[in-house]
Amino acid sequence: MPCRQATLLMEKRNTNSITSLQKIRLNAHLMICKWCRAYSRKINVMEDAMKKIFTQDVPDRFNKTDLQLFKDKLKEKLK
């Protein structure tokens, strides 16, 4: 399996939309390809981070000091 196909299957794997045969082929590819293994780990880290972000409670409103602090930090980064 080419790396391009493996990366596509890795993306689909996170949405549970690959077949059992595709999983087997992907796992076989990951055993021999260090680059795709590294990419797979990165995908998993990003997926975990996104889950944490979207499961956090977000306040309906931000207070003025939080908004001002955000604006100040943004201005500083844009300099």
Cβ partners under 8 Å of residue 22, min gap 6: 9, 12
The residue with tokens 């949405």 is: 15
Residue-number span of the structural domain to which 55 is assigned: 3-78
The residue with tokens 């590819």 is: 29
pLDDT digits (tens, 9 = 90+) for 10-30: 999 888 889 999 999 999 999
Which residues in the chain show pLDDT less than 70?
58-60, 79
- Which pLDDT value is given to residue 59? 66
Cβ partners under 8 Å of residue 36, min gap 6: 3, 6, 7, 10, 29, 30
Q: How many structural domains does the chain have?
A: 1
- Which pLDDT value is given to residue 52? 84
C-alpha R_g of the chain: 20
